Structure 1
Amino acid sequence: MIELIDAGKTYTSGTIEFEALKGINLAIHEGEYVAIMGPSGSGKSTIMNILGCLDTLTRGQYRLGGTDVEELDEIELASVRNQQIGFVFQGFNLLSSLPAWRNVELPLVYGHVPREERKKRASRALERVGLGDRLDNKPGEMSGGQQQRVAVARALVGEPTMILADEPTGNLDSVSTRDVLSLFDELNNLGRTIVLITHELEVAQRARRIVWVKDGAIVRDEVNAA
């Protein structure tokens, strides 16, 4: 499903070059639950941006569902981001002025889904994450854990093939962290592919496979026996 082949990324600022990824080779199959773990500056955020089609490689290849992403134009890339990838971010990225269901429906708005159908699907997504009774609550009326659940519902509403979660528990307390990670467990058990970016070992150990990244390279790739 996902394949990075000799993937390299170099950032240039004036005469200074920084090699963020150094020949990464990584395959993630449909239905896997993978944590990409490493300290700040290790390259894991760059991997996330590449996998999410938010950035491009300097060299090498990224294949998503058998398609070479480099060959897609901007319209096709926007469609991939909207339909194939569900994003969950550390900062929730919810619009404070909108109720939960309106936040969840946003990917469907961009996909030109009719309004009535959008609300139905947004409501179902919120029910799936245990917030069926919070449809009309705005983010400021919910806890951090509930806001992250809204963000997960938004990621799910388009039925993407992959959930890409970037430090999704970084702003949560321990109870909310457990709740959100349990939700990822449930989604993976139902066959959803999940890629979790984190610097916390305790969080990474909830995944079924851990890819350790350091200085732009994969240093270890192992099945999680925990």
Structure 2
Amino acid sequence: MADGTATRVAGRAAVIEAAAPVIELVGARKTYTTGSLEFEALRGVDLRIGAGEYVAVMGPSGSGKSTLMNILGCLDVLTEGTYRLAGEDVEELDEVELAAIRNRRIGFVFQQFHLLPSLPAWRNVELPLMYAGVRAVERRERAMLSLERVGLADRTANRPGEMSGGQQQRVAVARALVTDPALILADEPTGNLDSSSTDEVLGLFDELQAQGRTVVLITHEAEVAHHAHRVVHVRDGLVTVDEQVAR
């Protein structure tokens, strides 16, 4: 049994290595300056994530994992090094181009749901399409379809306050999916959920990866991380361990 598991893990790793990387960091450094003080949050990170991978990034508070997520999501830029997203050099893009990538090519899910309390679920889900200039009729159709995909077809008219925490996070996942991004970045998406809702949301990520999307999940919980196929450990701004998960 152990030999069979090792063979499956090695085979999956070989397929990933052969795939063109969606994410490629080389010598990634990020330094924050406050007055005369400098803090190096990332200290030369090399990381390659292939298309269709499900990767969890773990680390204690202050390890650099949130900075890494901000870099991967084009919410911040490197001080030194290279970040290529689907082969494109992010450092060469201007603010307008970076905003377009964030809105159309990356789906974000956060610990806080960031839903507008006055809007029904479908209106929250359509917001990225509104910013992208999509017509109103198409926006509603795609929002409804996205909510159906996360099991909330019967909750489209409900406002956030009328839903459980797990349902609100599923609305957030639907919003992340509505632009049909190839890359999903989830930052502590189960941090505010009970165990039942956590299982529901992690099940959604399992399905997304099975459909061919690349999923990167930031977490401090080992149980959550082991839903992924690969776990990257970050400490003091460096990748200390990068391992495949045996199944």
Residue 21 (structure 1) aligns with: 42
Partner SS state of residue 203, structure 1: helix
- Which of 143, 165, 177 is equivalent to 1:144? 165
Residues 42-57 of structure 1 mapped to structure 2, 5 A cutoff: 42-57=63-78
CA-to-partner distance for each residue in 1:144-177, whole Å, 9 max, x for gaps?
A: 0000000000000000010000000000001100
- Which of 102, 114, 119 is equivalent to 2:140? 119
Partner SS state of residue 152, structure 2: coil
Give the paired residue count. 226
CA distance in 2: counterparts of 1:20 and 1:196, whole angstroms: 19
CA distance in 2: counterparts of 1:155 and 1:214, whole angstroms: 28
CA distance in 1: counterparts of 2:46 and 2:93, whole angstroms: 21
CA distance in 2: counterparts of 1:110 and 1:160, whole angstroms: 15
Residues 12-161 of structure 1 mapped to structure 2, 5 A cutoff: 12-161=33-182
CA-to-partner distance for each residue in 1:163-221, whole Å, 9 max, x for gaps?
A: 00000000000110011001100111111110000111111010000000001000000
Amino acid at match of 1:220: V
Structure 2: state its 5+ residue gaps. 1-21
- Which of 153, 178, 183 is equivalent to 2:199? 178
CA distance in 1: counterparts of 2:132 and 2:182, whole angstroms: 16
Partner SS state of residue 131, structure 1: coil
CA distance in 1: counterparts of 2:67 and 2:95, whole angstroms: 19
Residue 183 (structure 2) aligns with: 162
Q: Percent identity?
A: 69
CA distance in 2: counterparts of 1:203 and 1:69, whole angstroms: 30
Residues 190-209 of structure 1 mapped to structure 2, 5 A cutoff: 190-209=211-230
Deviation at 1:28, TM superposition (A): 0.5
Report the RMSD for the aligned CA atoms in angstroms: 0.5
TM-score (norm 1): 0.99
CA distance in 2: counterparts of 1:136 and 1:74, whole angstroms: 35
Larger radius of gyration: 2
Residue 5 (structure 1) aligns with: 26
Structure 1: state its 5+ residue gaps. none
Amino acid at match of 1:31: G
Amino acid at match of 1:190: Q
Amino acid at match of 1:52: G
Partner SS state of residue 201, structure 2: helix
TM-score (norm 2): 0.91
Residues 203-222 of structure 1 mapped to structure 2, 5 A cutoff: 203-222=224-243
Amino acid at match of 2:149: R
Partner SS state of residue 195, structure 1: strand
Q: Structure 1 stretches (4+) deviating beyond 4 angstroms?
A: none
Amino acid at match of 2:163: M
CA-to-partner distance for each residue in 1:124-150, whole Å, 9 max, x for gaps?
A: 000000000101000000000000000
